[in-house]
Structures are given as structure tokens and as C-alpha cells.
């Protein structure tokens, strides 16, 4: 198991960090973020960012697991 890998919550296999990319307007790539459930969108700055979304992919069953990373 590599330093950055963990165990899959479904099958127990080895997982590896991956990046999930949102391809926005004009094919611009954005990292995924999350905001509080009651966050209100500002016309100038969007939602207040609480943190980023990270992901792991299992090499055995291909399950993708998401986790929040507080900013």
C-alpha cells in the first residue's frame, strides 16, 4: 500500500487519490468545493467556500469515495 492510499469501505481493496474535475463553461476545469447547506449565493463571489472535495478510487471494485477537506 502506498503512503497516500487507504482501504476501500466496500471491498477492503487499496484505494488511490484521484481528482474529480468539473468541466464548466468553455471547457474550463474547476476543482469541486462544498458550502454550508444554508449558504446563499452572492452575485459577486458565489457561495462561501467551506472546503474542497477530495476523492479516492478503489483499484479492486472501482468505487469512488468522496471526502471533504476543510479549508
- pTM above threshold 0.85: no
35 three-state secondary structure: coil
Q: Mind listing the pLDDT tens digit for each residue in 49-70?
A: 889 999 999 999 999 999 998 8
Contact at 8 Å (CB) between 56 and 9? no
Q: Residue 4's pLDDT band (boundaries 50, 70, 90)?
A: low
Cite the beta strand spans of 1-71 per DSSP E: 6-7, 14-18, 21-23, 29-31, 33-34, 51-58, 64-70
DSSP state of 48: P
Q: Mind listing the pLDDT tens digit for each residue in 5-39?
A: 689 999 999 999 998 887 777 778 778 888 888 88
Amino acid at each position: 500500500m502506498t503512503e497516500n492510499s487507504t482501504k476501500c469501505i466496500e471491498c477492503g481493496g487499496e484505494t488511490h487519490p484521484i481528482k474529480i474535475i468539473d468541466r464548466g463553461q468553455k471547457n474550463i476545469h474547476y476543482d469541486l468545493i462544498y458550502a454550508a447547506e444554508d449558504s446563499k449565493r452572492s452575485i459577486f463571489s458565489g457561495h462561501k467556500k467551506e472546503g474542497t472535495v477530495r476523492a479516492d478510487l478503489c483499484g479492486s471494485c472501482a468505487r469512488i469515495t468522496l471526502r471533504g477537506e476543510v479549508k
